[in-house]
Each structure stands twice: as C-alpha cells, then as structure tokens.
Amino acid sequence: MNTLLFVIFSSTISGVVYDEETQAPLKAHIYAVNADLIYLCDSLGAFVIPNITSRVYEIVVSHVGFKEETLLVTIQEPDTAYLYIKLQTVPIPVEEVEATGERIITPGERMLQKEEMEVMPGAEKNVFRAIQMIPGVSSASDYLGLFYVRGGELYENKVLFDNVEILAPYHYFGVGSTFNVDLIEDFDFLMGAIPARYGDAVSSVLLLHSIVVSEEKSGVASVDLIEANLTYRCPLSENLSVILAAKRNYLDFLLKQMGIVEGVLLPYFFDVQGKISLRTQFGNLFVNGLHSREGTDIQASFVDQTVDLKLDGKANTGWLGWDFNGSDRLRFQAYAFYSDMDRHMHGRGPTSADAATEDYSVEKYGALVHTEYRAGTITFALGGGIGRYGLFHAGAKIEDIFYKIGALYYSLEVDTSDDYGFLYAVQRFPIFKVFDCEIGERIDWLPAINQPVPSPRLKLIYRRNPSLFFAYGYLFQTPPLEYPVQEYKPLQARSFSMGTEYLLRPGISGKIELYKKNYKNLIRGYGDNLFFNDGDGQASGIELSLRKYQVGNLFGMISYAYSFSERTTPYDSAVVTTDVHRPHILNCFLGNRSSSGFRVGIQLQLASGLAYRPVIGSEGYYEWSPVYAPHKERLPYYQRFDIHVGREFSLWGMRGEFYITVLNITNRKNIQGYLYDWGYTRRKAIYMLPRVPLVGLRIEF
C-alpha cells in the first residue's frame, strides 16, 4: 500500500495512469473505496473523481497485466488534486500459442491519428497542414493549406468526410479549412493504389473520419490567435446522440466591437457542422450537415501595391446515411447527399492593373451504396451511385491572381449540368496464405463525358515482415469544366507503385515506395482563353519513411521523397515541371508526451524551392509587359522548423491544454515568388511566413 500525503486543497481527485516502463497511458480501473464507485480511465489514461468530501480518500488502481496499487490521499481543503500514477507490469502466465496475425498494408496509404495532429505545429486547427508532412505531398506556400500529390494538380484531389465528398474544404484558397479538427478522429490519405470504391480523382483521396458518438456528454472548446472552436457531443437517449461543432475566426468581430475598425468587412469565416446518430436494430442511421461561410471586403496595401478583395462565399453539404452490419460478414452502407458552393469574388492583385470578377457555383447531389460481404478469407464489395453535377463559372480565376502573384487576361465562362454515375466491384482474397490480392473494376459515367470509362485496379501484397506490395491501376476524373474545350475527355492517370514495409520493432516501421504515373488528357492552355483537353505528363519518384507509431510517449516520422514530374497545365501548353513540384522533400516530425503533462511536437521540413519562370526583361509600347525566360528556374531551397509545446492541466474538473506554437523558429526567409517594378528591371522577393508565435487554449469538458 502506498500512502501519499497531499497538503493541498482538494475536492476533486483527477490524474493519469500510465505504464511505468513504456510510459503508455492505461485504461485502468479506479476504485474509489470511500464512495464504493468504480471509475474508468479514458484512452489517454485520465480519470476524474468528483465530489470528494472525506479528508482521507482511498483509491485502488488496477489494470490487467499490471500490479495493483492502493493510494491514500489526504485532503485538507477543497480543491483539485492531480495524480500521476505509474503501474508496474506483472507477467501473465499463458499457454504458448502460435500467432498468425494479419498485417494490413495498403500501398500509397498514409494515416495520422488525432493526437499526432494535436501536437503537429500548425496542424492544431487545420488538418491540411498535417497532410503536407506526408511524403509525396508538396505544398505551394506556408500561407495556404493546399496540397499537391505526386506531380498532380490541386483539383485532382478529392476530400471526403465520412465517405461523402466535400466540394469546398478550404477557406480563402487554403488559408483555413472548413473542418473543425476536434470533429476528426483520424484520416486516411490514399495516394497510390486508390481502391475502386473511390473515383473521380487521379491524384489522391483524403478520407476524414469523424469522432464516434459518446455515451456521456462531453465537449472541447479551443481558441487561438485566429479562431475559436467548439465541439459538443451529447447522447439524447440510449440510441440517439448528437454532435455539434462550430468555429469562427474572431478578430474581425472583436475589432469591430472595440470600434477599431469601421465600415470595412475584415476577412471572416464561419463553419458549423452537426451529426445526429440513431442506433437501431437495422443498423445506424445518421444525418450530417456542414455549413460554411466566408467573406471580406477590404482594400489593403501589400508590398507597396494596392490589393482589393471582395469575397462572399458559402457552401452547404448535407447527407443521410445508413450503416448496417448484418453480421460479421455483411456490411451495407447507403448515403444520399446534397452539396453546393457559391462564391463571388472581385479582386485586384499586387500586379494587376485591372480588377477581375469571378462567380463560381457548384452543385452536386446523388445517392450511393456500398456492400461488403466476407466469405471466409475472401471479401467481395459492390457499390455504385448516381447523381447530378452542375457548374457555373464566369470571370477570371481570381485565386490565380493572388496565388501566382500574376495577372490573368482571360475569362472562363461555363454553365453546365450533367448526370453522373458509377459502379464498382472489388474482390480481396489470399493467395497461398502469404499474399493478399485485391482486384477491382470501376466504371464511371462522368459529367460531360460521352462514354463510360472503365478503370481496373490491382493490388498484390506479400504479408510477411518485411512485406512487399505492388499496385497498378487506371484512374479517371472529370476534367475541370471551367476551362472551355471543344470536346471533354476524362483526365487519366495510369498508376504503378511498389514497395516494401518492414516492422523493425513494435511500433516502428520503415517503408520504401516507388511509383510512376502517366497522365493523359490533361488541360493545357495557350493563354487568350484557348484550352485543349489533350495534354499529358508523367510523375515518378521514391519515398522513404521511418515511422514510430503512438506506442509510448514518443511518436513521429522521418521521410524523404525524391520525385520527377512534368506535365501540361492550364497555364502552360508545353510539358514542363509544374511550379509547385519540389524534387527533394525531407520531413521530420517528432512528438512527445511526458509524464509531467507536457506535450511537445517538433517539425522540420527541408525541400527544393518552387519552380518559377524568371522575368529577364520587358517589352511593350504604352506599358511594359514582362518577358520570361524560356526555362524555369528554382527558388532557393525551403526550410522550416516549427515547435509546439503544450502543457496539460486540470481545472474545475475539466482537462485542458495550453500551448505555444512557434512557426519558422529560425526565421528562414523562404521565398514565395517575386514582384517586379513597373519597368521589370528590378524585383523584390516575397517571403513566406516569418517567425510566428501562436498561443492557444483547449479545454475538454
């Protein structure tokens, strides 16, 4: 029996239980002897015993495989005491068994868990920042959470939340995301062998999974320098529960209330998301909704030039879902969804003489079903969906004016609507007990495409340690319809990847993956509103990573990716390296959770600079126009070192964390691009983020 004397003021006892040897949190049982009640630690090993009235309180802490501990807590005055309880392992004698475990390996798939994102500097509020740390993913700017995968373009990625596509996942061209990060449990990022279930994307599919409903009321409130978030889970009955989440940036509101800003609409964004779940004997029914708004009306000076931006945007996504597990063998899912996005922008960039206007509306609705049946070691999946997709676009693509720090001289006018549909079938089966094979076939009827497009996919995995994997398949996607072409053809990517993964020791694995992609039917542009749907490209590379999963207190990943990519784009009809392609990317992320309540995350990224076409001079008569070099060059290499330090605490029965994040600690002047003077004889570098401190507070109740 251990006796602990606390000469403190306590009316609540809370704490955390962890493995003395590995420092891993334990879901231990806490028996409050005085109250004759048992409390269960959560997944982080934390517990709370409220309403302590006795001066001496006895608690017994136990967990299978560990030595039981009995503690006496002496209390003098009402307050909260926080305990750190270590348990020692006790070997459990068992009969010898032969383990034939099944390792699930998916080529080109990466996942991150919630706690990893919570300590990843810059990703605390934006899941897309976490994506940028994955090998094979390139980003264009520190300011934007946009991501480019294995030589692909931004519009070639698809974002799904609980299996439904979100048309507008970003705010302000990627500065923020529409998702409340506290609503996300984890995500899967599919880059290589995208299963046949997912289509209409040739680069990647991001699957975000929401948190599960809880059996008791709980919530998370967080605030940092930019935005405030609130997530609340509440069971309404034994089978009915609701999750609500909202977030908004608040500086505009605050400054206006304080009278500092008047008559100007500072940039704001607002998201609200909700989920109602009903458990029935026929499966789980749920209703989800996501509503986003953003807007601004400002004129500001930016690097000694005037920038105008007027923006009004909103997006809605709502879906009904049914998830039925008939038995261990059968699973059935069905969704009906509606999604739309409207955005009106009027802007003038730093180098644009004239203002440009853009109206952009997208609407998509439909229904889809998915069935899985497992017969022994063989799994069959069938699914399909139908719906309608509509797009309206008028004006220039204003985001390019700001993003590319340049001006556009053409207007994209389109108003189209078309049906779509798809069917897929997948079979997974073992071969000789050591191989897993997955064969999939998908047929898409894409909007604006006159004929169905089949996309076969094959995966072969050798299930041993080290494992080997191989994947091959065709991916198709609706081309960006805002670019007018004579006849639309589906974007096509033929993808091949292979690699190996080796479990070095429990929780640590190394992975090498090689890939090659050939693109066809890409959009290529000549400027002056002349586009074609017959461009091509290729991408290949190798990705090496070493990952320590969250077993114990230390977790993280080190990765290096080398890639080669050339393709046509709407801005370049020739096959050239894209501006956002970085041949070398080294990422390092380490997170640590200490027993003293500190959570630390450090992140280092070293990468090749972005490609750009330098201005070599000018021409013109009434006004100067830039003359570009025929070949692209590279900006200086990119380097950023970030750190996140958080301190957990308990207060009034609630757990919280206060954190400080410093982005770009070394204050590296990473160059985003160049701005030129009026005569194009001089230029100045525009930098990405300087050293930026962020503070935040997060409370779980």
Residues near other proteins (CB under 8 A): 9, 11, 77-79, 303, 614-621, 624-625, 627-630, 647, 652, 658, 660, 662, 667, 669, 675-677, 679-687, 690-693, 695
Which residues, in sequence order, are CB contacts of 167 under 8 Å at separation 6+? 315, 317, 339, 340, 341, 362, 364
Minimum distance of other proteins from residue 324's CB (angstroms): 45
The answer to whether the beta carbons of residues 135 and 585 sit under 8 Å apart is yes
Minimum distance of other proteins from residue 83's CB (angstroms): 17
CB atoms within 10 A of CB 545: 20
135-151 burial, b if ≥16 CB within 10 A, otherwise e?
A: bbbbbbbbbbbbbbbbb
Minimum distance of other proteins from residue 195's CB (angstroms): 43
Distance of CA 511 to the CA centre of its chain: 21
Tell me whether residue 432 or residue 621 sits nearer to other proteins (CB atom).
Answer: 621
Tell me whether residue 214 or residue 681 sits nearer to other proteins (CB atom).
Answer: 681
Tell me whether residue 430 or residue 626 sits nearer to other proteins (CB atom).
Answer: 626
DSSP assignments along 268-306, one per residue: EEEEEEEEEEEEETTEEEEEEEEEEEEEEEEEEEETTEE
Minimum distance of other proteins from residue 78's CB (angstroms): 6
Angle at 176 (CA atoms; ends 360, 401), nearest 5 degrees: 50
Q: Which two tokens stand for residue 273?
A: 């998301």
Report the length, in residues, of the chain: 701
Torsion of CA 43, 46, 50, 56, to 10 degrees: 140
Minimum distance of other proteins from residue 231's CB (angstroms): 24
CA distance 357 to 344: 8
CB atoms within 10 A of CB 672: 21
Tell me whether residue 590 or residue 662 sits nearer to other proteins (CB atom).
Answer: 662
Distance of CA 630 to the CA centre of its chain: 36
Minimum distance of other proteins from residue 671's CB (angstroms): 8
Tell me whether residue 329 or residue 669 sits nearer to other proteins (CB atom).
Answer: 669
CA distance 347 to 394: 14
The answer to whether the beta carbons of residues 590 and 549 sit under 8 Å apart is no
Tell me whether residue 119 or residue 208 sits nearer to other proteins (CB atom).
Answer: 119
Minimum distance of other proteins from residue 511's CB (angstroms): 36
Tell me whether residue 154 or residue 405 sits nearer to other proteins (CB atom).
Answer: 405
CA distance 104 to 102: 6
The answer to whether the beta carbons of residues 676 and 627 sit under 8 Å apart is no
Tell me whether residue 530 or residue 695 sits nearer to other proteins (CB atom).
Answer: 695
- Element holding 399 (H helix, E strand): helix 398-403
Minimum distance of other proteins from residue 677's CB (angstroms): 7
CA distance 122 to 141: 13
CA distance 148 to 158: 11
Minimum distance of other proteins from residue 683's CB (angstroms): 5
Minimum distance of other proteins from residue 312's CB (angstroms): 27
Tell me whether residue 84 or residue 282 sits nearer to other proteins (CB atom).
Answer: 84
- Helix (H/G/I), strand (E/B), else coil: 260: coil
Minimum distance of other proteins from residue 637's CB (angstroms): 16
CA distance 448 to 444: 12
Tell me whether residue 280 or residue 625 sits nearer to other proteins (CB atom).
Answer: 625
Q: Which two tokens stand for residue 154?
A: 């931004």
- DSSP letter at 333? E
CB atoms within 10 A of CB 676: 16
Residue 386 pairs in a beta bridge with 367, 421
Tell me whether residue 434 or residue 651 sits nearer to other proteins (CB atom).
Answer: 651
Tell me whether residue 242 or residue 298 sits nearer to other proteins (CB atom).
Answer: 298
- DSSP letter at 251? H
Minimum distance of other proteins from residue 632's CB (angstroms): 13
Tell me whether residue 474 or residue 658 sits nearer to other proteins (CB atom).
Answer: 658
Minimum distance of other proteins from residue 505's CB (angstroms): 37
